[in-house]
Amino acid sequence: MLTTFKAKATKLANGMQVETKSRNFTFLIDEPKSLGGTDIAMSPVEVLLGALGGCQAIVAAAFAKAHDITFEEFHTEIEGDIDLAGFMGKADVRVGFQEIRYTMHFKTNEPREKMEEFVAFIERTCPVGDSLQNGVKLVNAGLVLE
Amino acid sequence: MLTTFKAKATKLANGMQVETKSRNFTFLIDEPKSLGGTDIAMSPVEVLLGALGGCQAIVAAAFAKAHDITFEEFHTEIEGDIDLAGFMGKADVRVGFQEIRYTMHFKTNEPREKMEEFVAFIERTCPVGDSLQNGVKLVNAGLVLE
């Protein structure tokens, strides 16, 4: 059974500032000054990396018990490469990420082999990771001119 | 030339709460109570949809002048479908989004045909959209046990 998740992004009056809303939660998005923004918040591609990291952390938290794993601390470091010449229209390269890398850190006494299996489980269970790795059909559902 | 963007996600002490950081900016991620969270912030998949919307809004703002387009307001509504039975391990379906749809709204006096061309430009220029539509190579760069 499909669950539909929703968000709305509204351009603010000031340059590239955007307010993003889902349910009753909001956060801001902007660009650094080097890309023409006012640098009050993360850029969209940084938010995307954060969503992947948050997803990995939540899968780790949600499924540790079922895998008989105890850990005291978890963080994940994410980085990804973009050739901005594509976005600027200066080169015929893809505009999106060419690769995204992550390093997960656990404070735990569990053996490495068990943790490597748990990481493989996190990788295949994280909805954001699956969406990025396998791609998603994007559909233009309409253009409203007011 | 590649630019590398970075983010870090740290599980907080309380359930599924995660702090996400990129440069000097942070935001929180959580899950609704129905999925075992404490519902203090968006879930990762909602953040992902927000990143796509924010990306579309910034491309619209950044490239309007170059396309000789004037608009007073812009917002984009994003929605996407996930079969949570995959995440729960209860069905052999993909864990990520099966489809993401968006509707862009402009307050403008420009003719529809010109705006449809601009929307097509936004679609092919948004780095988050390209990353989702065409997929990204995800690389496990290491596991650190402390």
B139 neighbourhood in chain A, CB within 8 Å: 99-102
CB contact under 8 A, B135 and A133: yes
Instruction: Say yes or no: A50 and A12 in one domain.
Output: no
Question: Which H helix or E strand runs over B73?
Answer: strand B73-83
Nearest residue on chain A to B57, judged by CA atoms?
A11
Note down the domain range covering A31: 7-41
- For chains A and B, CB pairs below 8 A equal 396
> Across the interface, do B98 and A56 touch by the CB < 8 Å criterion?
no
| Phi-psi region at B98: left, alpha or beta (left = phi > 0; alpha = psi -120 to 50) | alpha
| B window 106-135, beta carbon within 8 A of A | 106-108, 110, 112, 115-116, 119, 123-135
B53: in domain: yes
State whether residue B13 sits within 8 Å of chain A by CB: no
pLDDT one digit per residue (tens) for chain B, 146 residues: 899 999 999 999 989 999 999 999 999 999 999 989 999 999 999 999 999 999 999 999 999 999 999 999 999 999 999 999 999 999 999 999 999 999 999 999 999 999 999 999 999 999 999 999 999 999 999 999 99
Q: b/e map of A14-42 (b: 16 or more CB within 10 Å)? A: ebbbbbbbbeebbbbbbbeeebebebebb
pTM: 0.98
With contacts defined as CB-CB under 8 Å, which chain B residues touch A131? 45, 48, 96-97, 132
Judgement on whether residues A118 and A95 belong to the same structural domain of the protein:
yes
Nearest Cβ partner for A49 among B7, B37, B46:
B7
Which residue in chain B is spatially nearest to A90 when comparing CA positions? B1
Where residue A90 sits, what CATH number does that domain have? Answer: 3.30.300.20
Residue A103 inside a domain? The answer is yes
Please list, in sequence order, all residues whose beta carbon lies within 8 angstroms of the beta carbon of residue A10, skipping any fewer than 6 positions away. A18, A19, A21, B57, B73, B74, B75
Quote ipTM for the complex: 0.97
pLDDT mean values, one per 10 residues, chain A (146 residues)? 97 95 98 94 98 98 97 98 94 97 98 98 98 98 97
Are A108 and A49 part of one and the same domain? yes
How many domains does one find in chain A?
2
